[in-house]
Structure 1
C-alpha cells in the first residue's frame, strides 16, 4: 500500500502526511518555499515537480526509504471535525471547482435527487436553506462511510484518523500532529526543528485557501448546523477523531481542542 497522501521536500528536510481540509494547501506551499525560496504558481496540489509526492511514481521509492528509516521529521495537521465537514459541504458540494465544473461530475445531481439537498442553483449563488441541506448532506456522508453507498467515501469527508493511520500501519511514525486552529504555533515548531534552505516567516506568508470563494458563504454559526441527530451522525463518523485529537464533541461551537495530542496513543490506536 505504501504511503498515499505523503509529501516530502526535495531536500528531504521534512515529511508531511496530507489530510484534506486541514490547511494542506498552505502547508504544501510552505514546504515548497522552504526548498525553493518561492511559492508554487498555482494550486500546490497540481504541482508535478519541486515537491516529492506519493502520487508521483518517481517519488515513491524516495519517500518509502525515508519514512521506513524515519530519516526526516514527520508531521501532519488536524482540524475540528464539525468545521471540517461543514467546509467540505460548502466547498465540494455547493461550490464550483477550479475547472469551472461541479465536484466529481454527477455527485451533486445524485445528492439533489436522492437526498433532496439544495446547493444554491447552477452557480451556487442563489439563496437556499443551508442548515437543512447540510443536514441532508451529513446523512449522505454517513452512508458513504458506514455502508459505502451510494458511493465510496470521499477523501474530503472521510475521517482524519483513517488518513493518518495509513502512514503508521505501513511503517511510518509521526514526530508531531498539530491543530489547524493553532496553525502558526504548530507550523513554527516544525520549522524550528528542521533545516530549511529558505527561512519562512509565518506572519507574512499568504494563506493558500484554495477552497475559499468556491461556494456560498456560511450564513450561520457552526453550532446552528448541528441538532441532536446531526451530532449523533457526526459521532458515528468521527468518534475516533474526537477522541484522539481531543476536540469538544458536546459543543460544536467550540472549535478549539480540549487538550494536546498524545502521539503514543495515536500510534497505538491507529497502528493496528
Structure 2
C-alpha cells in the first residue's frame, strides 16, 4: 500500500499527506517555495520534479524510508465536511476543469441521466437550481461510498478520515493536523517546527485555488443546502470526520472547528 497522497520537499524538511479540497494547492506551493525560493509555474499537482510525491516512482523509496523512520515533521490539513462537499460539487461536478472539459469525462452526463442533476452551462452563466441539484449529488455520493456504485468513490468526496488513515496504517505518524479555516495559524505552527532552505512569510503567500472561477459561484449560505435528509446523508458518510476533526454536525452554518484535534485519538482510531 505504501503512502499514497504523500508529498515531501526535496530537502526532506517536511512531509505532507494530501487531503483533497483542503488547501492542498496552496500547501504544495508553499512546500515548493520553501525549497526553491520560487513557486511552481502552474498547478502544483502537475509538478513532476523538484518535489517528492508518492505518485512518482523515484520518490517512493525516499518517502517510505523517511516516513517509517519519522525522520521529518509530518502534517496534514482538514476542512469542515459541509463546506468540503459543497466545494467538490461546485468545482468537480459543475465546473469546467483545467483541460477545458468536464471532470472525469462521462461522469456529469451519468449524473444528469441517473440522478437528475443539473450543472448549468458557462454560456448561460451557470443558472440552475443549486440546492436541488446538490441534494441529488449527495445521494450519488452516498451510493459511491456505501455501495461503490455507479462507481468507486472519488478522492474529492471520500471521507477525510480515509485519506488521513492510510498514512497511519502503513507506519506513519502525524506531528500536526491543522484546519483549513485557520490556515495561517495552523501552517505557521508547522513552519515553526521545521528548517527550510528559504524562509516563508505566510502573510505574503497568495492562495492557489486552482478551481476558482471555473464554475458557478455558490448562491446561498451553506446551511440552505442541507435539509434533514441531506444532514442524515452527511452524517452517514462523514460521521468520523466530524468526531475526529472536531467540527459541528448540528450547525452547518458554523464552518469553524469546535475543538482541537487530539492527535493521540486520531492515531488510535485511524490506526486500527
Report the TM-score, using the length of structure 2 for normalisation.
Answer: 0.99
Displacement after TM superposition at 1:122 (Å): 6.1
Please say if 1:140 is aligned against 2:102.
no
**Are 1:48 and 1:56, in contact at CA under 8 Å, matched by a contact in 2?**
yes
The Cα RMSD (Å) is: 0.8
Separation in structure 2 between the aligned mates of residue 239 and residue 197 of structure 1, nearest angstrom: 40
SS of 1:16's equivalent in the other structure is: strand
Report the TM-score, using the length of structure 1 for normalisation.
Answer: 0.99
- Deviation larger for 75-84 or 209-218: 209-218
Separation in structure 2 between the aligned mates of residue 176 and residue 191 of structure 1, nearest angstrom: 11
- The 3 A distance-change label for structure 1 pair 123 and 161 is farther
**Are 2:21 and 2:84, in contact at CA under 8 Å, matched by a contact in 1?**
yes
SS of 2:192's equivalent in the other structure is: helix
Deviations 1:83-142 (A, max 9, x none): 000000000000000000000000000000000010013657331000000000000000
Separation in structure 2 between the aligned mates of residue 124 and residue 254 of structure 1, nearest angstrom: 32
Please say if 1:161 is aligned against 2:168.
no
Unaligned runs of 5+ in 2: none
- The 3 A distance-change label for structure 1 pair 63 and 124 is farther
**Are 1:28 and 1:44, in contact at CA under 8 Å, matched by a contact in 2?**
yes
Q: Which runs of 4+ in 1 moved over 4 A?
A: none
Displacement after TM superposition at 1:75 (Å): 0.1
Aligned length: 272
2:86 is aligned to: 86
Deviations 1:145-181 (A, max 9, x none): 0000000000000000000000000000000000000
Separation in structure 2 between the aligned mates of residue 152 and residue 213 of structure 1, nearest angstrom: 27
Separation in structure 2 between the aligned mates of residue 11 and residue 107 of structure 1, nearest angstrom: 39
1:44 is aligned to: 44
Separation in structure 2 between the aligned mates of residue 207 and residue 182 of structure 1, nearest angstrom: 13
